Amino acid sequence: MRVISGTRKGLPLKAVPGTGTRPTTDKVKESIFNMIGPYFDGGLAVDLFAGSGSLGIESLSRGIDTCIFIEKDTHAIPVIYENLKKCKLEDQSEVYKADATRAIKALEKRQARIDLLFLDPPYQKVGYYELIEQFVDKNLLTEDAIILCEHEKGVDLKSHYGSFTLTRKEVYGSTIISIYRQEEGERND
């Protein structure tokens, strides 16, 4: 596992030991960022089920200003910190050991405005995708925000979450990447 592109291109990333997390492969990660970027001009990213932090770190390497990593697995937190240190991205990052629902409440309290939301929960926890509704309802997403969901083949996500519409869906073996954006008419321009 490594950083694919950007300012930290080629740096190796450590995976979380054990089978509690499922890292996004480098091939899928490269495809994800080719679909949503590939580069960014600042902004805030949230890596909600961060695991090793690979997706958030990739977004920082490609121009996101700040990434908030949220993970509740005790074994994953030190790996995120180690990967951020290795990439010298500690100053652009916040890491929280928290349940996703509690994290949303904290983001609402600080009036976060998220440009890029990664949602990659454990595959068997399909209900976690409903958290997107809370991000929309609590106005935590910018009008140009991108929501990226990684999920198991056979799991059908909704075509809309509030004003966010499924705009792209790609299959990579047993993994599906679903991307949501607001349609032009739904934005508050």
Q: Going residue by residue through the chain (189 aa), what tens digit of pLDDT does each one get?
A: 999 999 999 999 999 987 666 678 888 899 999 999 899 999 999 999 999 999 999 999 999 999 999 999 999 999 999 999 999 999 999 999 999 999 999 999 999 999 999 998 877 777 888 899 999 999 999 999 999 999 888 888 999 999 999 999 999 988 899 999 997 655 444
**Residue 89 backbone phi and psi in degrees, to 5:** -120, 15
Report how far residue 22's alpha carbon sits from residue 16's, in angstroms, rounded to the nearest whole number. 9
The CATH T-level fold of domain 29-186 is Rossmann fold (3.40.50)
Angle between helical axes of 54-61 and 26-36 (0-180°, round to 10):
50
Which residue, 130, 117, 144, is CA-closest to 32? 117
Look up residue 18 and give its two tokens: 């054990």
Which residue, 2, 163, 176, is CA-closest to 83? 2
- Domain regions of the chain by residue span: 29-186
**Residue 17 backbone phi and psi in degrees, to 5:** -65, 150
Cβ atoms within 10 Å of 107's Cβ, excluding its own = 22
